[in-house]
Structure 1
Amino acid sequence: MTVGYGPGMTTPTSPAGKPILGRKRPVPAHIAVYAFVIVPFLALLAAVPLAWGWGLSWLDVALAAAFYVLTCLGATVGFHRYFTHGAFKAGRALRIGLAVVGSMAVQGPILHWVADHRRHHAFADREGDPHSPWLFGTSPAALARGFWHAHLGWVLQRDLTNQERFVPDLLADRDMRVVHRLFGPLTIVTLALPALLGGLISWSWAGALTALFWAGLIRVFALHHVTWSVNSVCHMIGERPFAARDRSANFWPLAILSMGESWHNLHHADPTSARHGVLRGQIDISARTIWLFERLGWAWDVRWPTPARLARITAGVVA
C-alpha cells in the first residue's frame, strides 16, 4: 500500500530498514513542550475571573479570532493538506508562508508535525500510530486511557518519529529545515505580535497585556484542544459514511472551529483530497481557502474530489 505524502510525492508507508522512531526529544525541548501545554491551561484558569467585568475588550476578541483563523489555517491548509498530503502544489513564497504561519499554531516544528501525521496515516488505529485512542483495548477504562493518550498524552512523550523515514522530501528542502529551526522564535512571534497590535491600537500597556492573554495564550490553548480533538474525538465518535481502514469519523460540532478537519472519515478514506467536507452542508473553510489560492494562481494541480472517487469510497472500496 502507498500513501500520498509530500507535494507531488508518493512514498511507501513501510520503507525497508528504517525504524518508525528516531531520536528522543532533547530535555530542554521536552521541558518546552510541557510549557506549551501547561502555560495556556493556566491562562484558561485565569480567564473566567478576568473576563468577569474586566480584562476582555472587543479588540481582544477581534485579535483572538483573527490570529486563531490565521494560525489554524496555517496548520490545516499548510502543515496538513499541503505538506503532509500534497493536496495541491504551490510556489516557494506560498510554501514558506504556509510553513511559517503553521509554525505559529505552536503545535511543534514542521518536520516533527508532518512526520507524526504521515506515521499516523501509515498505521492509523494500529500499533505504530502515535495517537490512536484504540491502542489499549475497548473496555471503558481502556477507552478512557486511550482518549487521554490520543488527546494529549502522546504529545508529552519524548520519542520522536523518524524523519528520515517519513519526511525525506522536507529534509531535502533547505527552506523547510530553516523554518523548522525557527520554531522557537516563531512561538515568541505568535504571542508577541497580538500584544504589539493590542498595545498600538489601544495605545496602552493594558491593551498589550490583555491582547497577549486572550489573542496569545488563550487562543493557543483553544487551537491546541481543537486540533487534539480531531486526533481523539474524531477517532471515537461520529458518522462513517466512507470506507476507511480505521475508525476515523465525521464529528460535525468541530467543523467550523477545525476549519473542516473534523470531516475526518472522508480524509482517511481519501487522504490526498483537498476537500474533506464533501457532502451537502459540510462546511470546509480550509478547502475554500485552497480554492481561493487556486483562483489567485498561487496553487495548482489541486486534488479536488471527483464523483467517481467518492462513489468508490462510498461503496466500500478502500484505496
Structure 2
Amino acid sequence: MTTSIQAAERRQDYDGASPFPGAEEHVLAGRGQVALTGAIVVLPFVALGVAIFLAWGDGVTFTDLLLAAVLYVMTGLGVTVGFHRLLTHASFAARSWLRVMLAVAGSLGFQGNVIDWVTVHRRHHAFTDRPGDPHSPYRYGTSLRGQLRGLAHAHLGWLFADDPTPADRYAPDLLADPAIVRVARAFPVLCAVSLALPFLAGWAITGTLYGGFTAFLWAGLTRVALLQHVTWSVNSLCHVIGARPFTTRRHDRSTNLWPLALLSFGESWHNGHHSEPSCARHGVDRGQIDPSAAVIALFERLGWASNVHWPDDERVERRRAGPRPPARAPVGERPAG
C-alpha cells in the first residue's frame, strides 16, 4: 500500500473545501516515465499541428477522416465498454474472447495498459474528490486559483506524479486473469500497432507513401490526441462543470456534461455513473445518448454478454438529488441505498 493511500485512509476530517494534505508536495515520477508520458502527451499535439498545416494544402482526404473515425470508435469503445464498464465495474459479463478483444481495443488508445488503467480508476472511485483520489480537480481546494490548478492536475498533471496505485490491492482479479495479464504486457506493441494500422491502410488504399503519412497523422496521432483529451476531460471537467441530478457519496462532485456525451460514448453522464457505478448505462434519463450502453445491449442480444446491470427505474428515482419521501420496498426487503 502506498503512503498517500495510507494517509488518505487515516484522514477522517476532510471538509470538502480545503486543499488535500500534501497537495503542494510535487514529486515527479522517474525520468523514464516522465519522458515517456510527455512523449505520449506532446507528440499527438505536434501531429495535430502538422496535420492542420497540411490540411490547408489538401493534406486531408476522405480516406484519412474515415480511417480516423473507424479507429476512434473502435479504440474509444475499447476504453469505455472494455476497460471501464466491463473490467473496472463488472457491469456485465462477457465471453472470454470478447473480454480480450475489448481489452486489446482499449489498449490501442494509448491510455496505459489495461491493468494500470483499471487500478487507477477503482482507486478514483474509492476516494472520489477527497484525499487519496489520484486525479481530483479539488486537490488544491475550491478557491478560483485552486480550481484552475486542480483542473490542470486532474486533466494532465496527475500523469506525471509519483503516486503509484497498487494493482494487487485494487485489481487482484485482473492479475489472476492470464489473458488480461498478457494484454497488459503487450501494451507497447499494441501502441505501435495502433499507429501502424492507419499508415498501412492509408498506403494500401491510396497506393502512395504520402497517403500513408497523412493517414498516420489524422487516423493515428490526431485520433489518439482527441480520444485522450476526451477521456481526461471526464476526469477534470465532469467533476466541475455540469448538472448533478443524482446523489453520490460525500464530497463526490461528479457531474453530467452533455456536450461530451457523443465523443465520450456516454461517459460524460458522469454523475449518473458515480451514483450507480456498476450500472451498464450511464445516461439513464430520456434523451441522454449513451453509445456504450447501446453496444452492450447489442452484445447481450447476440449472446456475447450476460448478467447486464441495466438501470432499475425505482432505484434511479431514489437516487435523485433533493429531499424525497422514502421509497417503499417489497415486504421483507430493505430499501436499496
TM value normalised by structure 1: 0.91
Report how many residues are paired: 302
RMSD of the TM alignment (CA)? 1.8
Whether the 8 Å contact between 1:64 and 1:219 is mirrored in structure 2 is yes
Out of 124, 142, 150, the position equivalent to 1:120 is: 124
Matches within 5 A, 1:266-277: 266-277=272-283
- Residue in structure 2 matched with residue 3 of structure 1 by the alignment: none
Separation in 2, partners of 1:197, 1:27: 35
Out of 117, 125, 135, the position equivalent to 1:131 is: 135
Separation in 2, partners of 1:78, 1:19: 30
- Residue in structure 2 matched with residue 217 of structure 1 by the alignment: 221
Whether the 8 Å contact between 2:200 and 2:212 is mirrored in structure 1 is yes
- Residue in structure 2 matched with residue 109 of structure 1 by the alignment: 113
Out of 295, 299, 302, the position equivalent to 1:293 is: 299
Separation in 2, partners of 1:223, 1:238: 20
Out of 53, 61, 66, the position equivalent to 1:62 is: 66
Out of 229, 233, 237, the position equivalent to 2:233 is: 229
- Residue in structure 2 matched with residue 170 of structure 1 by the alignment: 174
Out of 244, 263, 271, the position equivalent to 2:248 is: 244
Displacement after TM superposition at 1:312 (Å): 1.4
Separation in 2, partners of 1:155, 1:107: 10
The one-letter amino acid paired with 1:307 is D
Aligned to 1:265, the other structure's residue is in SS state helix
- Residue in structure 1 matched with residue 261 of structure 2 by the alignment: 255
Separation in 2, partners of 1:100, 1:88: 18
- Residue in structure 1 matched with residue 155 of structure 2 by the alignment: 151
Displacement after TM superposition at 1:125 (Å): 0.2
24-33 or 105-114, which moves further after superposition? 24-33
Separation in 1, partners of 2:3, 2:114: 20
Structure holding more strand per residue: 1
TM value normalised by structure 2: 0.86
Whether the 8 Å contact between 1:199 and 1:208 is mirrored in structure 2 is yes
Separation in 1, partners of 2:152, 2:33: 22
* 1:311 correspondence with 2:317: yes
Displacement after TM superposition at 1:99 (Å): 0.6
Separation in 2, partners of 1:307, 1:73: 26
Separation in 2, partners of 1:260, 1:311: 20
In structure 1, runs of 5+ residues without a counterpart are 1-16
* 1:179 correspondence with 2:183: yes
Whether the 8 Å contact between 1:151 and 1:231 is mirrored in structure 2 is yes
Which protein has the larger Cα radius of gyration, Structure 1 or Structure 2?
2
Separation in 1, partners of 2:104, 2:231: 18
Deviations 1:86-136 (A, max 9, x none): 000011100110110010011001111000000000000000001110111
Deviations 1:244-288 (A, max 9, x none): 121000000000000000000000000000000111110000000
- Residue in structure 1 matched with residue 329 of structure 2 by the alignment: none
Separation in 1, partners of 2:315, 2:163: 37
Sequence identity, in percent? 54
Whether the 8 Å contact between 2:137 and 2:239 is mirrored in structure 1 is yes
- Residue in structure 1 matched with residue 81 of structure 2 by the alignment: 77
